[in-house]
Structure 1
Amino acid sequence: MRLPRPHRVDVLIAGMSLLGGILLWSLGLFMQRPETSPLPPWAALVPLVVICCQAVLRRTRPLTALAISCLALIGDLFTVGSLVTVIVFTDAVYSATVYGPDRFARHAPKVTGVLTVAVTGVLIAIFQEAESLLLGVVFGLITLAPATTGAIVRNHRQAAEAARLRAEQTALLAELDRTQAITAERSRMARELHDMVANHLSAIAIHSTAALSLDDPVTSRNALEVIRENSVAGLTEMRRLIGLLRSDSDDWEPAARPSLAGLESLLTQAGANGAASGLGFTLDTTVDGVPAEDGPGAISLPAPVEQAVYRIVQESLTNALKHAAPGQVAVSLDHRTGESLTTTVTSPYGARTGPRAPGSGAGLVGMRERVVLLGGEIDAGPEPAPGGGPGKVWRVRAVLPVHDDKEPDA
């Protein structure tokens, strides 16, 4: 197995330690007097060289380096000794704690602490002198101190790494939230723009086509009146939306929110726009199965629900103006108190001889998005005519869960 390449700092530490040890040895600076050592002074160079060479493994193989250092330190005890050998040994203990396995790092301070106490006790028992306590302190300085320091450094590094990872995750989540917020806001703006302007532009397209295709002054004048009315209304809506997008003031007052009370005027406008295409519009409102005399205004629901219903009806009427065959377009609201509000819009489905306006399908997408956001259901498509009549109808049916602001009295 190929050994990993040693870190250049470790190579520098090994080289500097060896040069320093050789310098001290050449100056005759030993840990003990030569006459008390059983080996000649040059023997101290052997453990010095061994322990300095292991320093290149202090990061890549910390436990192996520590084992080699222990053997070198034991061998150094039988020579005149070198201060550099002891210092490099303390670095080996420190490195093993910092770069070694987690289990070793957790137990190193405990084991070295127990060894320090045991060695101090043995020395006192053998020599029975106060100086033995100092030897125990020295042993603790070269074992317990570096192990404890290494454990502290390792814990700080792990805490810093965990904090860095948390910061990266937080930044990533913030970026995801920002992206989702931008996407949601763009979708909301697209829905609002489509709902506010598409109806007017569809009417303009249909009536301008009728005015161009029919050589009738009365028809052309009526078409131009409808075109002017829808142009002014569409321009007003566009200016309001542009003002909303450009405004950075909290005091800006938006237009009134669409509500169920405005459905009657919406159908009146649709009737004027669809007269040239042979379309008629009806509105039916029931509350708990009973017809509501006051129409949609009799239903009071949370603002998001009323706005969604208004936009669904508006888009359905716009699609009817674009594509429906001549006939009746029926809008019905069925409110079940405290349960749901079912909105159904049916229009004649089939070939159309009059003018048509192109469609993009964005309206159906916007309706589905609104319904899904409120936890409701929606389906749209052709169906057989109700009551077994001839032909087919295009039906849009949306069911929105509601919780009334006012519960009925018991």
Structure 2
Amino acid sequence: MSEDEPRPGAWTTPGRRRLLPSAVLTGLDPDVPGRSGRPRRTVRDWIVDVLCFLLSVLIGALAADTVSGDPNTPDALKAVDQALGVLACAAVWLRRRRPVELAVATTLVGLVSNTASGAILVALFTIAVHRPFPYVAAIGGASLALTPLLFLLRPDPDLPYLPSVVLTALLTGTVVGWGMFVRSRRQLLLSLRDRARRAETEAALRVERAQRLAREAIAREMHDVLAHRLTLLSVHAGALEFRPDASREEVVRAAGVIRESAHEALEDLREIIGVLRAGESGDEAGRPQPTLAALQGLVAESREAGMGVVLEDRVADPGAVPASVGRTAYRVAQEGLTNARKHAPGAEVTVAVAGAPGDGLVLTVRNPPPPGPVPRVPGSGQGLIGLTERVTLAGGRLIHGGRPDGGFEVRAELPWEG
């Protein structure tokens, strides 16, 4: 008659689901009720219900035999005892729908019917399994309290009064304790399943967050890498558009810069797309990984494009700068040069970098106001926002804004551990 449950995970197959109690299935799948909103009985439920009924009939039959052989009991009372016992055994089939009512009724019937003893035990077990402790304490306590009165009214012909009361109380306590144990196991199963569901949900959220962060990192990288190249294309194409009288040498030079920038932009884009297709999980694995030592090349590239850039490098050993700090500083300089080329064409830009281990690294990109009209160059306006986030993630801070002379300055302060 045990209603114990299998280990967590046993519900994973339809065949095993039929071996679980309906109350457990309702807890596992609360959105799949049976008819009339009640949980549908499983195969296990039917087996347990049949066993409960047979056990109550067996115990009732033994008690009825004892009552029939008692010469001190009138025949009319014997008939009433057995009739009430039959009704109590038949009522066992209602134990899942009406456990409280069944327990109360059988406890009261037990005062006049020994044949209902089996039904009483089944009812107490059922209420201990299916109802909270207050119900169990009230009805079980009432049953124990009525036990001495029962044996005063209907003494057992085979046992003295005190042993009869003690044995009945022990049997009642055992059945109730067993039912409470089954209930606790059932609640443990449901709590483990709920915990597993929460763990799966949290894992899915972590994966989603990691994917979102990876997409944001790739978007920042694409912006940093391609904005610099595409700005060169836009500036030189605009120069050709607004200077139709340029000499052949100037046109050839500008066309060469455009071709070279387009080629490098395609290479960078191909490299990033390759990372996406390969599905590498590193933060920036396989992507362009410039360091502070590459700052000289970035300035030289800008100069070749016709931009006036002054580099003030006060770092004794750029190779000693940590890779993450150097990469962040390089991106700040790249974005600063890109913005200066877009918003202050023709102005001389100063890139200053200084620092030492333990003191931190400071990189500044500043430019005066543009000397002439500024052609409109499209932009997303997200560059400085992305830079601020990048520098913050590196443990530093980014300061940017207009200068008193009408120019603009971007200053990044990055940590450099000693």
- TM-score, with structure 1 as normaliser: 0.73
User: Structure 1 residues 243, 70: closer, same or farther in 2, change over 3 A?
Assistant: same
Residue correspondence of structure 1 range 300-379 to structure 2 within 5 A? 300-335=320-355, 337-349=357-369, 353=373, 355-379=375-399
Letter in 2 for 1:89: I
Residue correspondence of structure 1 range 180-259 to structure 2 within 5 A? 180-215=209-244, 216=246, 217-247=248-278, 254=286, 257-259=289-291
Percent same amino acid among aligned pairs?
A: 27
Structure 2, gaps ≥5 residues long: 1-35
Residue correspondence of structure 1 range 82-93 to structure 2 within 5 A? 82=115, 85-93=116-124
**Per-residue displacement from partner, 1:100-132 (whole Å, max 9, x unpaired)?**
2246669999x89x99xx98xx99xx9998898
Which one of 371, 393, 403 corresponds to residue 407 of structure 2? 393
Range with greater deviation from structure 2 (4-13 or 198-207): 4-13
Matches of 1:220 and 1:6, distance apart in 2: 84
Matches of 1:302 and 1:401, distance apart in 2: 9
Letter in 2 for 1:365: I
Match of 1:101 in 2: 132
Counterpart contact for 1:344–1:397, Cα < 8 Å: yes
Structure 1, gaps ≥5 residues long: 287-291, 386-391, 405-410
Which one of 110, 116, 119 corresponds to residue 73 of structure 1? 110
Letter in 2 for 1:310: Y
User: Structure 1 residues 102, 370: closer, same or farther in 2, change over 3 A?
Assistant: farther
In the alignment, structure 1 residue 283 sits paired with structure 2 residue 287: no
Q: CA deviation at 1:143?
A: 1.5
Counterpart contact for 1:335–1:342, Cα < 8 Å: yes
Matches of 1:97 and 1:60, distance apart in 2: 13
Match of 1:272 in 2: 304
Counterpart contact for 2:348–2:368, Cα < 8 Å: yes
Matches of 1:352 and 1:47, distance apart in 2: 108
Counterpart contact for 1:210–1:220, Cα < 8 Å: no
Matches of 1:360 and 1:152, distance apart in 2: 65
Count of matched residue positions in the alignment of Structure 1 and Structure 2: 362
**Per-residue displacement from partner, 1:335-377 (whole Å, max 9, x unpaired)?**
2541432222112345852544211123223212211212322
Letter in 1 for 2:289: R
Letter in 2 for 1:32: V
User: Structure 1 residues 280, 60: closer, same or farther in 2, change over 3 A?
Assistant: farther
User: Structure 1 residues 33, 377: closer, same or farther in 2, change over 3 A?
Assistant: same
Range with greater deviation from structure 2 (35-44 or 175-184): 35-44
Q: Secondary structure at the match of 1:75?
A: coil
**Per-residue displacement from partner, 1:369-393 (whole Å, max 9, x unpaired)?**
21121232223222312xxxxxx11
Q: Secondary structure at the match of 2:227?
A: helix
Counterpart contact for 1:284–1:332, Cα < 8 Å: yes
- TM-score, with structure 2 as normaliser: 0.72
Residue correspondence of structure 1 range 40-189 to structure 2 within 5 A? 40=76, 41-44=78-81, 45-46=83-84, 48-49=86-87, 53=91, 56=94, 62=100, 65-77=102-114, 82=115, 85-102=116-133, 139=168, 142-189=171-218
User: Structure 1 residues 354, 165: closer, same or farther in 2, change over 3 A?
Assistant: same
Q: CA deviation at 1:167?
A: 0.4
Match of 1:382 in 2: 402
Counterpart contact for 1:325–1:348, Cα < 8 Å: no
User: Structure 1 residues 154, 106: closer, same or farther in 2, change over 3 A?
Assistant: farther
User: Structure 1 residues 191, 149: closer, same or farther in 2, change over 3 A?
Assistant: same
User: Structure 1 residues 101, 255: closer, same or farther in 2, change over 3 A?
Assistant: closer
Matches of 1:354 and 1:17, distance apart in 2: 94
Letter in 1 for 2:417: H
Counterpart contact for 2:91–2:102, Cα < 8 Å: no
In the alignment, structure 1 residue 38 sits paired with structure 2 residue 58: no
